[in-house]
């Protein structure tokens, strides 16, 4: 990695465990404590080796398309990498001296440049502010104090604060490049130093975090966009090839103060439910227009105008009566009912729609218009912040009317001309901190020379092995314990031959686990980690199953590592694992996670001791879907054990029938073969789909079938020995994957000398599975009323006739007219009658 330019050293604040005196990876810290020892974690800045996994971020996302991972695993990987597309925008700063490069600017990262007009302040992270201080910014003591305190906050402090935002006015101002407005710059630790540029433009009108901060510190809130909703489904979905007719309109929110319900409208023709709305005629006063619409549509005439909160939304829909695409800009106006007096509504309106009163909760499920959720949110929450897409307003007509990505693009392009903005892509994924200060772990093969700097250990001296020591206690300084071992540390520089020192940090556990599967392919090779031929033969790994706890870090590191080797032409595939699945967890008998403190731990060894490994294995396969959690149950375990005994006894009896006299029972053979091959098909498919629980069910069903009095009596007759032998062989082969030990013994008893596990997997014969008779359900109005058994090749007409002739069916059809008959070939018959009413019961 180092030679390829993908490893570097940096001063990095890390989590430090004061008890074990070692740096910790983020994943070793839980709730501010070291996961292993429970010690409170501290912050410490150390010089660390780091691998540039972020350079592979895009490929790690894109190549997920070429592999078959369990959905949620792929999704978790994508979320963890956290790619976001946005823009970097530069604000000029006033009132700062000595900032980096004397540029006196701050660059912010945003995914929403379309909301730039609503940026009423800028927030920089304490980390960035500290940099400014280092570069000579003369901040007030209060500001310096805040920066200092936030940088020294431990993980626990950060979480303890319950997310109450803190911050301080820096005294600096910034110029919004879109409208040249001068806005204050604040320092606050809700902005992360490690993400983006470490600074943001705050748009309180369209970002919940900024809104919270603005509220707390009484900063201005300015609207930059008006919500835009497009109907994409249902009756009013916009027609793709039609222009939009734009209308200014009002939307009346009418509350009945007595009941706290709101006046809604239900359109009769199409399924559309919303509020009272209407177009503005000419330069009509909006309040007047709203009152007129309320009267016309609902008849309520005594209204009290409450307020105009300045809410406008854009709603794009298809107007069915007018047959046109509409783009309505609704002006929301709030009214209360003075009294419930109404006047008659015109016939025309009454035919179209009817008024209904709904509470906010009822509105949620009632509304079918696209803006429905927005309306209930606004009514429900006085602090509702709209963060969705919208139409840009208030930019002096430069960008007004544009929306969404079009607006974002236009604004960035415009600012790009004056070097004030550019498109940028950011990731949540950070580079991989690769240093540990343990004794254990692979030593990082670097030699530090005062003259040549960090030099890679020459290939011929690899691998660097850990020295044998009596003690490997940690040191006080944060250096690896290896630093104290002089004759190991002190070496000659491979470049200049002068005195130099080995790197004493070691690699994390993840290092080895990133590529162990490659070594498994060729474990005795002493020339290379594996031969190219063997790698070509075996890679990629066909199926990698592992716990969910390794679906982000280990899996991501491992894929990165493999891709690096691929780039170095050391492995033949870009991805290590073709398929990735994950098993669920087995919970204790109390349905809780197993843990010593709960005392609900099941020890597999004791199960093996009392029931045997076959029972344990089969039970685990049977207990539930492979990838879901299930609670342990001793009773069910015993049930599985009983099954094994039954199938064992059955097999013994079948094997015992090796006499061959008389004419075999052909009907029995057909029946048994059909069942065996049906099971074979199911078992095969279930193994492929990893549905092991139903695979075991199928085997149980087969066993029950063969054990039934009717079948087993005949199967044990000497003349049917061939059928018995054939059956038991297939049965044993199918049992082999789930009860390997018992199956192996039975296999030997069948006279085989090779292992059952190397025997060829049986194939099912589709011809044997074919049924001659099938059972057909007969429904009336979708309800099962009878079943009939018919020949497989029955025609639809015949089927209908047979169905109609059934006694039960006749009974239920009596007095009803058949409106329609649905016949699904060889599947089902459904009679639809004139009424769904059922005969009254007395």
Partner RNA sequence: GCCCGGGUGGUGGAACGGUAUACACGACGGACUUAAAAUCCGUUGCCGCAAGGCUUGUGGGUUCGAAUCCCACCCCGGGCACCA
Smaller CB separation from RNA, 233 or 418? 233
Residue by residue, what is the 3-state secondary structure of 177-223? Answer: CCCCCEEEEEECCCCCCCCCCCEEEECCCCCHHHHHHHHHHCCCCCC
Smaller CB separation from RNA, 256 or 707? 707
Q: Which residues partner with 753 through β-bridges? A: none
Non-local CB neighbours of 634 within 8 Å, separated by 6+ positions: 589
Assess contact for 167 and 146: CB atoms under 8 A: yes
By residue count, the chain amounts to 842
Chain position carrying tokens 């002190």? 490
**Residue 217 CB, nearest approach to RNA (Å):** 13
Smaller CB separation from RNA, 447 or 644? 644
Smaller CB separation from RNA, 282 or 766? 766
The Cα 603–Cα 600 span in angstroms is 10
**Residue 319 CB, nearest approach to RNA (Å):** 21
Assess contact for 531 and 519: CB atoms under 8 A: no
Smaller CB separation from RNA, 142 or 783? 783
**Residue 577 CB, nearest approach to RNA (Å):** 19
Torsion, Cα of 624, 630, 633, 635 (10° steps): -20
Non-local CB neighbours of 96 within 8 Å, separated by 6+ positions: 104, 132, 137, 172
Assess contact for 712 and 706: CB atoms under 8 A: yes
The secondary element (H helix, E strand) that includes residue 69 is strand 68-69
**Residue 165 CB, nearest approach to RNA (Å):** 5
Smaller CB separation from RNA, 161 or 533? 161
**Residue 67 CB, nearest approach to RNA (Å):** 17
**Residue 157 CB, nearest approach to RNA (Å):** 10
Q: Which residues partner with 264 through β-bridges? A: 275, 356
**Residue 196 CB, nearest approach to RNA (Å):** 4
Smaller CB separation from RNA, 475 or 833? 833
Q: What angle do CA 657, 662, 663 make, to 5 degrees?
A: 105
In 220-300, alpha helices (H)? 286-298
The Cα 59–Cα 566 span in angstroms is 12
**Residue 654 CB, nearest approach to RNA (Å):** 16
Smaller CB separation from RNA, 22 or 376? 376
Smaller CB separation from RNA, 509 or 779? 779
Smaller CB separation from RNA, 106 or 535? 106
Which tokens in the block code for residue 151?
């940088």
**Residue 177 CB, nearest approach to RNA (Å):** 16
Please report the DSSP string for 291-325 in residue order: HHHHHHHH-B--EEEEE----EEEEEEEETTTTEE
Smaller CB separation from RNA, 659 or 827? 827
**Residue 823 CB, nearest approach to RNA (Å):** 9
The Cα 824–Cα 708 span in angstroms is 34
**Residue 488 CB, nearest approach to RNA (Å):** 37
CA distances from 167 to 144, 181, 184, 276 (A): 12, 22, 12, 44
The Cα 803–Cα 43 span in angstroms is 78
């Amino acid at each position: 990695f180092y030679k390829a330019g993908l490893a570097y050293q940096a001063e990095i604040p890390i989590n430090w465990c004061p008890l074990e005196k070692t740096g910790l990876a983020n994943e070793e810290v839980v709730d501010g404590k070291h996961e292993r020892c429970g010690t409170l974690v501290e912050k410490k800045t150390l010089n660390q080796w780091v691998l540039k996994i972020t350079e592979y971020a895009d490929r790690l996302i894109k190549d997920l398309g070429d592999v078959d991972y369990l959905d949620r695993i792929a999704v978790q990987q994508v979320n963890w990498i956290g790619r976001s597309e946005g823009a970097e925008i530069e604000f000029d700063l006033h009132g700062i001296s000595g900032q980096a490069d004397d540029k006196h600017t701050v660059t912010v990262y945003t995914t929403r440049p379309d909301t730039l007009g609503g940026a009423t302040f800028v927030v920089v992270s304490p980390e960035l502010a500290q940099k400014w201080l280092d570069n000579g910014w003369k901040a007030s003591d209060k500001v310096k104090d805040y920066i200092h305190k936030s940088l020294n906050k431990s993980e626990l402090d950060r979480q303890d604060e319950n997310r109450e935002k803190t911050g301080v006015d820096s005294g600096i101002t910034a110029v919004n490049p879109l409208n040249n407005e001068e806005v204050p710059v604040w320092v606050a630790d809700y902005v992360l130093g490690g993400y983006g540029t470490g600074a943001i433009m705050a748009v309180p009108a369209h970002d919940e975090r900024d809104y919270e901060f603005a509220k707390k510190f009484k900063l201005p809130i300015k609207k930059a966009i008006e919500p835009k909703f497009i109907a994409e489904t249902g009756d009013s979905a916009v027609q793709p090839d039609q222009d939009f007719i734009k209308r200014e309109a009002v939307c009346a929110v009418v509350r009945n103060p007595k009941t706290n319900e709101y006046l809604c409208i239900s359109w009769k023709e199409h399924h559309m439910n919303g509020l009272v709305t209407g177009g503005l005629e000419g330069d009509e006063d909006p309040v007047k227009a709203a009152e007129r619409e309320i009267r016309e549509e609902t008849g309520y005439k005594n209204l009290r105008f409450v307020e105009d909160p300045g809410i406008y939304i854009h709603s794009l829909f298809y107007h069915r009566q007018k047959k046109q695409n509409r783009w309505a800009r609704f002006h929301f106006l709030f009214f209360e009912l003075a009294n419930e007096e109404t006047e008659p509504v015109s016939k025309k309106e009454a035919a179209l729609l009817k008024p209904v009163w709904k509470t906010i909760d009822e509105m949620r499920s009632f509304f079918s218009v696209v803006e429905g959720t927005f309306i209930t949110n606004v009514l429900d929450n006085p602090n509702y912040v709209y963060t969705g897409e919208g139409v840009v307003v208030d930019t002096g007509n430069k960008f007004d009317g544009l929306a969404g990505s079009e607006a974002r693009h236009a604004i960035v392009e415009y600012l790009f001309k004056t070097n004030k903005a550019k498109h940028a892509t950011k990731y949540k994924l950070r580079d991989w901190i690769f240093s540990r200060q343990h004794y254990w772990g692979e030593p990082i093969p670097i030699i530090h020379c005062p003259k040549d700097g960090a030099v890679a250990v020459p290939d011929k001296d690899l691998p660097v092995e850990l020295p044998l020591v009596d003690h490997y206690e940690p040191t006080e300084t944060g250096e690896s314990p290896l630093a104290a071992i002089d004759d190991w540390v002190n070496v000659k520089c491979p470049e200049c031959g002068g005195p130099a020192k080995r790197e004493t940090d070691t690699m994390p556990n993840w290092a080895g686990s990133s590529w162990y599967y490659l070594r498994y392919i060729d474990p005795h090779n002493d020339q290379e980690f594996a031969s190219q031929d063997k790698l070509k033969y075996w890679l990629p790994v066909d199926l990698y199953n592992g716990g969910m706890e390794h679906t982000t870090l280990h899996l991501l590191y491992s894929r990165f590592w493999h891709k690096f080797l691929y780039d170095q032409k050391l492995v033949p595939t870009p991805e290590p694992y073709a398929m990735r699945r994950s098993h669920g967890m087995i919970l204790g008998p109390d349905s809780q996670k197993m843990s010593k403190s709960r005392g609900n731990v099941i020890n597999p060894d004791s199960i093996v001791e009392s029931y045997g490994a076959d029972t344990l294995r089969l039970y685990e396969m049977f207990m539930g879907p492979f990838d879901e959690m299930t609670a342990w149950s001793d009773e069910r375990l015993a049930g599985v054990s009983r099954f094994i005994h039954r199938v064992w006894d059955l097999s013994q009896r079948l094997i015992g029938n090796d006499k061959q006299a008389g004419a075999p029972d052909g009907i029995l053979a057909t029946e048994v073969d059909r069942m065996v091959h049906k099971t074979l098909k199911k078992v095969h498919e279930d193994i492929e789909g990893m549905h092991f629980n139903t695979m075991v069910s199928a085997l149980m069903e087969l066993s029950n079938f063969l054990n039934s009095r009717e079948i087993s009596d005949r199967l044990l007759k000497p003349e049917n020995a061939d059928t018995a032998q054939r059956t038991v062989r297939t049965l044993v082969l199918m049992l082999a994957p789930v009860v390997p030990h018992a199956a192996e013994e039975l296999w030997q008893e069948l006279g085989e000398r090779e292992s059952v596990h190397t025997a060829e997997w049986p194939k099912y014969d589709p011809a044997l599975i074919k049924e001659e008779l099938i059972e057909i359900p007969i429904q009336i109005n979708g309800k099962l009323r009878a079943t009939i058994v018919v020949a497989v090749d029955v025609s639809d007409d015949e089927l209908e006739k047979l169905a109609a002739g059934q006694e039960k069916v006749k009974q239920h059809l009596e007095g009803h007219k058949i409106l329609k008959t649905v016949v699904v070939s060889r599947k089902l018959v459904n009679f639809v009658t004139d009424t769904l009413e059922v005969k009254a019961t007395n």
